[in-house]
Amino acid sequence: MLPLGSLKSTLAGLTGLAVVLLGLSTVNGLPTKNPLTRILAQDGHGVRTVSASNTTTTNTTTRGIVRRAEKGPENDHDTHISLINATPYRWRKVFNSSYQLDGWEHRWPEYIRPGQSVTVRVNLNGYGLRNRGDSAAEATYALEGTKLASSLQVQYRSGIPHRVYIQFRDELQTLNNARGTEHNLGFSRTPGGVGFVLAGREGDFISNDPPLQWMQSQLAEIGELPLREISMPRSHHAGLWKCEEVVGVAQPRNTQTHRLPLYDQLGNGGIRVLDVRPVRKHGKFRESHGSFVGGLYNGMLGATLKEMVAVLNSYMRDYPGELYIWDIHEGDARNGDHGFRAVDDDDRLALYTELMGLDSRANVSDGEDLTRRPLSYFVQPEQVRNGQSTVLIRLPTSWATKKHFPGAQHGFVSGINFPLRSHWSETNKEKQMVADQIESLKQARPSRGAEMFNMDWLLTQKGAQAAFPMALESIIEMSGGAWKTLYGEGFWNQLSDSTYPNMITMDDIHGNQQKAMAMVINKCLAARRCGDLGGMVKMEPEETVSSDQ
């Protein structure tokens, strides 16, 4: 949620100044191009790429301060590139070249071992007076021990902004990606980064840019595994891709969590769990992001639940056969017409009525732990032919015993029959967040059959960042650090076939790196189809593939 506890202390004694700096004097409610989509270079290439003009937000103008968001693409040069070798084959560096980059050649290792994650900082230190747009570099790795020659090349391409690509060489191909495929990883300004993963065995590789119906594509491997043994991508405040109404001293830069609309999050992003915080105001439920300061609610209202329901229904018609979970947050379900109090029975009845508009709601049991059911209980191949999917609406446990609760026969579940643990680190420090989340994961899931755990892979604005985001980092800008660490050794190399997250929650869903990570966890750790990965997976002796080429 919006870290307005830290905002409160920062605003103490500065209320008048904060009002000016936060741009509240010129809110007029008119739709405008979203500055966040204009200044961040990462793009969601794939299903439907959305330009700035497709996303609207409240027009909030700020005077007397230089926005960090107004830094143009000429500033976009330095980034991080991560590679994960989730195959049983050692990768050997066979080519390396760069122009106007500091340390590119020696930063890429000679070998990348099975199970290893490598992150390289790309920077132009010492080349500030030259044409930085001409800078470029390549590094090629060949897989050792495959029957057919297979290699991939990392490319930092020239241009403003620079883009990072992975190009398949020789005979390398993966699920949904033919020989010669070029994967556009986009660009994420430092401290952000981009990542690429290759997983599986020869003839059965997966990588970035997997299928849109990714659950269907993995049914043969994970269909008989219970939900508590598989992983899914989760979107934080899924309906905050646009900001429709300002409340109090909030603004888009300290409330908006996404640039891409829900359809893109579901498609290229692969999101299957939606974090939803509904606020009822003027007869409509909207996604919300906010908190109380001095007894007053401050936040932003985004897309209506009616719109979100329509988007998911549309996506399921286009790409049937998947499982979707709406995760309704108890503490942030409020009535904005009555002081943003917690919802009451009448509010819940109205909310249930709107959620009944979701197609393909499951008919399940109230009396069992559904997380012990296999994925094939919810998703079957024939659903694709029949145009069906499966939707679960997970509500707070306390609601299950209150009036109007529809019940599992209508697809509404709670912590009683769908237990799930989660942990929010509430920090803006990358290393602290990573360490805290990993420690929480290990405590919550010492074994693969333990209760489901949602990993909040999020960085949170603190202090001045929350109070003055026009000058400092917005939520979306801060999320770049979380995306960088997702493919770093601090995350990947702490996992094993007994300890891994069931859900990974992120801000700024874009591209398909989060989806690819969930699929790799499923394939390599849950289904054990990638070899031992340097000890991450316990394999039978006959199942191992030698990587000491």
| Cβ(291)–Cβ(460) below 8 Å | no
Whether 121 shows a pLDDT value over 50: the answer reads: yes
Question: What mean pLDDT, rounded, does the chain reach?
Answer: 86
Q: What is the pLDDT of residues 268-295, one digit of tens each?
A: 999 999 999 999 999 999 999 999 988 9
Question: In this predicted model, which residue has the larger pLDDT, 2 or 325?
Answer: 325
Which pLDDT value is given to residue 287?
98
pLDDT band at 542 (very low <50, low <70, confident <90, very high): low
According to the per-residue pLDDT averaged within each range, which of 93-107, 156-170, 228-242, 453-467 is highest? 228-242
Q: Is the dihedral of CA 415, 278, 37, 3 positive or negative?
A: negative
Count of alpha carbons within 13 Å of 317, Cβ hemisphere only? 8
- Is residue 104 scored above 60 in pLDDT? yes
Cβ of 27: how many Cβ atoms within 10 Å? 15
Task: Show me where the domains of the chain are located.
Answer: 4-67+225-511, 77-210+539-543
pTM: 0.86
Question: Over the stretch 12-27, which tens digit does the pLDDT of each residue have?
Answer: 433 333 333 333 322 2
- How are the residues of the chain apportioned to helix, strand and coil, as percentages rounded to the nearest 5? 30, 25, 45
pLDDT band at 368 (very low <50, low <70, confident <90, very high): very high
CA end-to-end span of the chain? 49
Instruction: Tell me the two tokens of residue 174.
Output: 């993966």
Range among 4-18, 128-142, 405-419 rated most confident: 405-419
Q: Does residue 316 carry a pLDDT above 90?
A: yes
In terms of pLDDT, which residue wins out, 43 or 333? 333
Give the per-residue pLDDT at 131.
Answer: 78
pLDDT tens digits, one per residue of 461-508: 886 655 555 557 899 999 999 999 999 989 999 999 999 999 999 999
**Which segments within 104-244 are labelled E, that is strand?**
111-112, 117-122, 136-143, 150-157, 163-170, 182-186, 194-199, 206-207, 232-235
Residue 309 has pLDDT above 70, yes or no: yes
**Cα–Cα distance measured from residue 531 to residue 528, given in angstroms and rounded to the nearest whole number:** 7
CB of 215 within 8 A of CB of 316? no
Give per-residue pLDDT as tens, 122-161. 987 655 556 778 889 999 999 999 999 999 999 999 888 8
Q: Which residues pair with 150 in a beta bridge?
A: 170
In whole angstroms, give the CA distance from residue 470 to residue 254.
9
In this prediction, residues 381-408 reach a mean pLDDT of: 98
> Is residue 49 scored above 80 in pLDDT?
no
Residue 133 is predicted with a pLDDT of: 81
For the domain made up of 4-67+225-511, give the CATH fold: TIM Barrel (3.20.20)
Which pLDDT score, from 0 to 100, does residue 546 have?
A: 45
**Residue of 79 and 77 predicted with greater confidence:** 79
For residues 5 and 291, the answer to whether their CB atoms sit within 8 Å is yes
Q: Which CATH number does the domain 77-210+539-543 belong to among 2.60.40, 2.60.270, 1.25.40, 3.40.50?
A: 2.60.270
Rounded to the nearest 10 degrees, the angle between the axes of helix 214-222 and helix 513-520 is: 10
Please tell me the predicted confidence (pLDDT) of residue 42. Answer: 32
